[in-house]
Amino acid sequence: METSLTLTVNNLWMMICTALVFFMHLGFSLLEIGLTRQKNTVNILFKNFFIICIGLVLYALIGFNLMYPVSFWNGVIPDYFVSLFGLESPQGAQGLDLSYNTGYTYWTDFLFQGMFAATAATIVSGAVAERAKLGSFFTFSVLYVGLAYPLVGSWKWGGGFLDQWGFYDFAGSTLVHSVGGWAALVYIAKLGARIGKFEKDGSARAIPGHNLPFAAAGVLILWLGWFGFNGGSVLSADPALTSLVLTTTSIAAATGGLAAAGFVHLIYKNFDLTMFMNGILGGLVSITAGADLMSITDAILVGAIGGIVVVLAVSLLDQLKLDDPVGAVAVHLGTGIWGTLAVGLFGSAAGTQQFLVQLVGVLLVAAFCLTFSYGVLSLINIRWGLRVDRKEELEGLDQAEHGGMSAYADFRMNQH
């Protein structure tokens, strides 16, 4: 009876966390449309719906079996060929074989992990907003979510070689956020900046988003969703560990936002709301790799440094003339790297050996994701092109890609 009750409680908590991670896609959508111009709103929403739908289908057909294999060659290449296509429950439709997992059912595990898979492509969506061809983005997303994300995930979460080396990534600072961030970095480098982003002298010009209240709502929804993202990664309803993870997650978010806002004010003498919001997200990404290992003091430091990393990364991208409308690369890649390395510097796993393992893991994931993204995007660019033409970009992608559909049909505003 006790075992049955424990399974029910754990499984219920995991399903709640699955719903919270799903809810994060609304947060991403609101953040992205809020920080971009009105004329591209429908395009961004369409991409985000596509990512959720194709992410789940691909994860069911390929990704789940690819990510959690019976490994050979030390886990470098998964042994998925026998059961590549389709979900196979250990015990029929119920998926209740406790030899598979004592904490929750097979189907709950699939759905929770499937929500993570779609997140990596959502990160890319925001970075390439306002000038990427829709069909080319879809093609890249299918290949990246279907192959690259689960393959990298198998190296750690599937029991592969990174796991055997002792690499630690509790909820995905590297395996989710950096994986998406590396792809976003390559994509924006190949796309080029939006028209008007950089002046003739090379200085960056702000292109304001059209709805900051939407963006603010998106950040708060993402913060709430992170309770499922990190809390569910405990993989049980263990009261002590779950409550610690939720606390360190929130503390890091708060200090990330405060540090980013304070650092911007120190340098630029203004209170920048968008930097405050991205600092909060940076704190969340930073703590994700080691949320279960950190004390409150550790979480304060990890989150605060993450907020500063966001500000510095945004400035660096501007200097490199790389245009990221929503700050996705700074938030997900910059603080994803920092959060992963922080496991070796703070918390109960800190030490020189752990830091070196974390560093090697970051570098290997970077090498794979950069190579995969560059190769795939280069082929897509040759065949179809990555960017819409100048006229379509100036008119807006809602006009060019969606037949002139308007997100605010009764409220025509200045679209430039």
The predicted-structure confidence for 65-79, as pLDDT tens digits, reads as follows 888 864 333 344 444
The tens digit of pLDDT for each residue in 130-159 reads 999 999 999 999 999 999 999 999 999 988
Evaluate whether 305 touches 256 at the Cβ level (below 8 Å).
no
Measured N-to-C along each axis, helices 239-268 and 296-319 cross at an angle, to the nearest 10 degrees, of 40
The tens digit of pLDDT for each residue in 174-190 reads 999 999 999 999 999 99
C-alpha–C-alpha distance, residues 318 and 315, integer Å: 5
The tens digit of pLDDT for each residue in 195-253 reads 999 988 889 999 999 999 999 999 999 999 999 999 999 999 999 999 999 999 999 99
Q: What is the mean pLDDT of the chain?
A: 91
Which segment of 10-14, 62-66, 98-102, 190-194 scores lowest on mean pLDDT?
Answer: 98-102
For domain 2-70+82-401, the CATH class is: mainly alpha
Q: If you average pLDDT over residues 77-93, what whole number do you get?
A: 48
Q: In the chain, pLDDT over 90 holds for what percent of residues?
A: 79
* 58 or 72: which leads in pLDDT: 58
Instruction: Please say if the pLDDT value at position 319 is more than 90.
Output: yes
Q: How confident is the model at residue 120 (pLDDT cuts 50, 70, 90)?
A: confident
C-alpha–C-alpha distance, residues 287 and 340, integer Å: 8
Which segment of 167-176, 214-223, 284-293, 397-406 scores lowest on mean pLDDT?
Answer: 397-406
Q: If you average pLDDT over residues 362-383, what whole number do you get?
A: 98
Strands 90-93 and 77-79: unpaired
Task: Find residue 204's DSSP bridge partners.
Answer: 198
C-alpha–C-alpha distance, residues 249 and 230, integer Å: 7
CA angle 113, 119, 124 (to 5 degrees): 150
Q: Which two tokens stand for residue 70?
A: 């019976």
Instruction: Please say if the pLDDT value at position 415 is more than 60.
Output: no
Instruction: Please say if the pLDDT value at position 121 is more than 90.
Output: no
What pTM does this model have?
A: 0.93
